[in-house]
Chain A
C-alpha cells in the first residue's frame, strides 16, 4: 500500500494534474476576457450577478466589519493606554482596516459566501447538462453564464471591502469614543493626519480589486471544471473556499511587500 514507488508515482501524478489545471485555468481566464462582450452589452445579466454576489453578502460584511472594528477598538485602547496615547486609537483602527483587515477579511468572507455559491451554481448547471444544452442552442456558456458571474464578483468585491472598512472604523469609534470616552476630536483628527488617501486607502482598494479578480476566477473555474456529479460539485465548492483563502493570503503578502516597502 505505502511502497515508496507508488508514493512517488502518486506525487508525480498529483503535480502533473495541478500544472494541467493551472494551464487550463489560465486559458479559461483568457476565454472569459475574450467573451466578456455579452456581460457589458447586456447589463441586466451582470447586474443580476452583482445582486447575488454583492447585495446578498451585504449583511455578513457589514456585521463582521462592525464586530472587527469593535474588537480593534477594545484591544487597541487596552494597548495604547499603557503608553498614554489613547487618542491614537483612530489611526490604529483606521490603518489596520484600510490597509489589511478590510480587503483581506472581506475577501475571505466573500469567497465563502458568494464564491462558493457561484461554484455550486455553475457546477450544478454542468451536472444537469444545462451548459451543454446552452451550447447546443448556439449560446456560449462562458459568455452567457461564466463571464457575468465573474464580472459581478469583480465589481462587488472592492465595494464590499470599502463597506467593511467603513463599518469597522465606525465600530472602533463606537467603542473608543462613545463607550470608553476617548476625545471625539482627537480620534478623528489623529486618524486624518495619520491615514493617507493615496497611500493607505487607495492601496487597500487596489488590493480588494485584485482579490475580487482572484476569488471570482477561482469560483467560476472550479464550477466549470467540476466533475458533474453531486460529489464532484461538493468537492469543487470546498476547493473554491480553500484555494481562495490561500490565494488571498499569498497575494496579500506579495501586494503588501510591493506597496508598503521602504517608506515609514
Chain B
C-alpha cells in the first residue's frame, strides 16, 4: 500500500439497531489533502467519521489509519492514537464551564507536561490563527455560533494533529462566518501539514476549498472526484446536489403511500 494514503477505508459496513447505515464504503484519503464527504442529512456521514475516530465499531470492513487498524484497537491504544487526531463537532462542543483560553488549553494540559508559560504561548498562537486572541477570557456562552466554531477549531488543532475531522462545520452560520471557517480549514490544514476530512452538505463552500469530494447516498459512495470534475459531472445525483434541485434521484419526502391513497383510506383506529 502506498504511504501517501493516510486513511484507507475498505468495505466499511455499519448497522444501527439492525438498520444498515453504511453498506460497503471504500475511500482512500491521501496525506495533506482536504477531503469532503457530502450527502443529504441522515446518509451516514457522521457515522463514518465516528468509525474513523474509533468511537463506533463497524459491523464489517476495515479502517486503516497510517499503519493502525482502527477497528481492532483496544481502548488504551485508541486513546493513544486519538492524541494525533483533532475533531470539530457540529456545534463546537466547547466545555461550557471553562473560558475560551482554558478550552484551547485543555488538550495541552491533559496530554503534555508543558509549563503554564508554554501553554499560554501555544494557546495564544492557536487563538491568533483563528483571530480570537482578544476573546480568550470570554465564556462559551458569550460567543456567537461562528466564534464558538472557531474556538473549537483552535482546540481541535491544539496538539498539531496529523488528521483533523470536521462534522458539519458550516451548519447554522451566516455566509460571512461560513466563508471565514472555510478559509481557516484550508489555511490550517496547509500550515500544519495535516490531513482533513470534512463532512458537510454545503456544496458551494466545499467546492472552493477541498481537493477531493465523495458523495454518499443510502450508505454507499455514489460519486467522487475533484471539484472541477464534480462541477462538470453529468451524474444526475451530483447534478441535483450541486444545483439544489428538488426533483431528482434524491427524494426529500419520507417514504409513504401516495397522498391520494391515504386520504381516501379514511380514519382507521390505530
Interface residues of A (CB under 8 A from B): 121, 124-125, 128-130, 132-140, 144
Q: Chain A residues with Cβ under 8 A from B93's Cβ?
A: 128-130, 132-133
Q: Which 7 A-B pairs have the closest CB atoms?
A: A133-B93, A138-B82, A129-B93, A138-B79, A136-B87, A138-B83, A129-B89
Partner of B96, one of A130, A132, A140: A130
User: What is the total number of residues of chain B having a CB less than 8 Å from a CB of chain A?
Assistant: 22
Residue in B83, B89, B91 whose Cβ sees the most chain A Cβ within 10 Å: B89
Point out residues on B near A: beta carbons under 8 Å. 53, 55, 78-83, 85, 87, 89-91, 93-97, 106-107, 110-111
Contact B55 A132 (CB under 8 A): yes
Q: How far, in angstroms, from A133 to B103 measured CA to CA in the complex?
A: 11
B164 to chain A, nearest CB (A): 11
Least CB separation from B90: chain A residue = A129
B111 close to A136 (CB less than 8 A):
no
> B80 contacts which chain A residues (CB < 8 A)?
138
A128–B110 CA distance with the chains assembled, in angstroms? 21
Q: Kindly list chain A residues whose C-beta atoms are within 8 Å of the C-beta of B95.
A: 125, 130, 133-134
What 5 new A-B contacts, CB under 8 Å, besides A121-B97, A132-B89, A136-B87? A128-B91, A129-B90, A130-B96, A136-B53, A138-B80
Chain A residues, CB < 8 A from B85: 136
Complexed CA–CA distance, A140 and B85 (Å):
15
Q: How far is the CB of B241 from chain A (nearest CB, A)?
A: 26
> What is the CB-to-nearest-CB distance from A59 to chain B, in angstroms, rounded to a whole number?
22
Q: Offer 25 A-B interface pairs, CB within 8 angstroms, sorted by A.
A: A125-B96, A129-B90, A129-B93, A130-B95, A130-B96, A132-B55, A132-B89, A133-B87, A133-B93, A134-B95, A135-B55, A136-B53, A136-B55, A136-B82, A136-B87, A137-B82, A137-B87, A137-B106, A137-B110, A138-B78, A138-B82, A138-B110, A138-B111, A139-B110, A144-B110
B96 in contact with A128 (CB, 8 Å): yes
Identity of the chain A residue whose Cβ is nearest the Cβ of B110 in the assembled complex = A139
- The closest CB in chain A to the CB of B167 belongs to A129
B230 CB to nearest chain A CB (Å): 29
- Minimum Cβ distance to chain A for residue B93 (Å): 4
CB distance from B142 to the nearest CB of A (A): 16
CB neighbours (8 Å) of B107 from chain A are: 137, 139
For A52, give the chain B residue with the smallest CB separation. B97
The docked-state distance in angstroms from the alpha carbon of A125 to that of B97 is 10
